[in-house]
Structure 1
Amino acid sequence: MRRDPVPLGERVTVRVPPDIAYAAVADVTRMGEWSPEVRGARVLGGPGPVRVGTRFVGLNRAAWLPWATLCTVVAARPGSCFSFRVSILGIALSQWTYRFREVPGGCEVTEEWLDLRSPVAGRLLTVVSPVVTGVVRRRERNRATMRATLAALRGALEGGG
């Protein structure tokens, strides 16, 4: 298995300021409202704004079995960038990054996924992951879910949600 060091990304323009879009995405407990794969998240360590070092459990389901991941915030710059790393059972999986850039009439939101699996872990997860998640082609699946997530985020933010 060869890991692609280039992030996979999608973007959307939303008719809200960057700080509003950032606040929605950085409230990780809301991601289940938009993502077809994420069902929710539970922030560890109590309430309050997320910041670098904040950890949360991501609750996911793609097909038949749910699974949980441990996520750690690695960037939290309001109105600019929100990023977290994802692991399962101590194995690094990925990094998700959301970038916010002001454009006329609102902001551009970019969602990126970077595969962090080591070659050994990647081979193991390539065999095990489809059994657990039902997802055989993770990169293609992530592109589709990013498009759906960003469209739903735009709808929620522009609709006042």
Structure 2
Amino acid sequence: MSAITSEHDLFGTLDAADFAFTRRAWVDAAPARVYDLVSDVSAIGRWSPNATDVTFDQGAGPRAGAWFGGLNRKDGREWTTRSQIVRADPGDTFTFVVGGIEDGIVRWSWTLRSRGRGTVVEQSWQLLRLDPVLGTTRGDLDALRDYMANSVETTLLSLARWIAEE
């Protein structure tokens, strides 16, 4: 298959599992502190270049099953998302699915591991199902994955810097 053909693969032949990544960074804080920061979804705008105005639903908080909404920006466009927490283990893992557990399209996960006096923070992104809103060709989805990987790297660096300066 040529590079030109692969750029124009039919949407139906793509596999969502091909679109995932994990990035890591060490931060100078204990896992419990990092968990408190990343599970406070309203704080993500401090570090993320894309997500702003993120808030838990009324009465919700960082626990499995809870919902939150947010405003996202990319390339001059804005859109809102609804996400549901699927795992909330203080000091260890915080995972949510954009679109909710039943019909989600992307899983985001933060995993925390103690290392020295700080924490190795892993942020993972996994496309769960194909949706035309995210792109319709392999090229579209590769570009989205690469864009999100760069965004995560920026987020992790910003988080580490924020913690160091706090």
- Cα separation, 1, equivalents of 2:133 and 2:125: 20
Q: Which of 11, 34, 40 is 1:27 aligned to?
A: 40
What 5-or-longer segments of structure 1 have no aligned partner?
128-134
Q: Residues 28 and 40 of structure 1 are in contact (CA less than 8 Å); yes or no, is this contact kept in structure 2?
A: no
Q: 2:150 aligns with which of 131, 136, 144?
A: 144
CA distance in 2, matches of 1:124, 1:72: 19
2:159 to 143, 153, 157: 153
1:45 aligns with 2:58: yes
1:73–1:84 Cα contact (<8 Å) kept: yes
* 1:148 CA displacement: 0.1
CA distance in 1, matches of 2:113, 2:46: 22
Residues 1:138 and 1:78: Cα distance change in structure 2 (over 3 Å): same
SS of equivalent residue, structure 2 residue 135? helix
Instruction: Kindly state the Cα deviation for residue 63 of structure 1 after the two structures are TM-superposed.
Output: 1.7
Aligned to 2:29: 16
Q: Does 1:94 align with 2:88?
A: no
- Which of the residues 110, 116, 138 maps onto 1:104? 116
The corresponding residue for 2:126 is 114
Match for 2:135: what amino acid? Answer: T
Q: What do you get for the CA RMSD once the two structures are aligned?
A: 2.3
**TM-score under structure 1 length normalisation:** 0.84
Tell me the amino acid that sits aligned with residue 144 of structure 2. Answer: R
CA offsets 1:35-54 (integer angstroms, 9 cap, x no match): 1111131211236x410011
Runs of 4+ more than 2 Å apart: 4-7
TM-score, structure 2 as length reference: 0.82
Instruction: Give the gaps of 5 or more residues in structure 2.
Output: 1-13
Structure 1 position 68 matched with structure 2 position 80: yes
Count of paired positions: 149
Deviations along 1:104-137, whole A, 9 cap, x unmatched?
121100000010124xx3x46414xxxxxxx981
Letter in 2 for 1:55: W
**Cα pair 2:20 2:145 within 8 Å, conserved:** no
**Radius of gyration: which is bigger?**
2
**Contact 2:19-2:145 within 8 A present in 1 as well:** no
Aligned CA distance change for structure 1 residues 137 and 79 (closer, same or farther; 3 Å): same
Task: Tell me the percent identity.
Answer: 27
Q: 1:50 aligns to what SS in structure 2? A: coil
Aligned pair 1:126/2:149, yes or no? Answer: no
> Partners of 1:19 and 1:8 in 2: how far apart?
24
Please state how far the C-alpha of 1:6 moved relative to its aligned partner.
6.6
Structure 1 residue 84, shift from structure 2 partner: 0.2
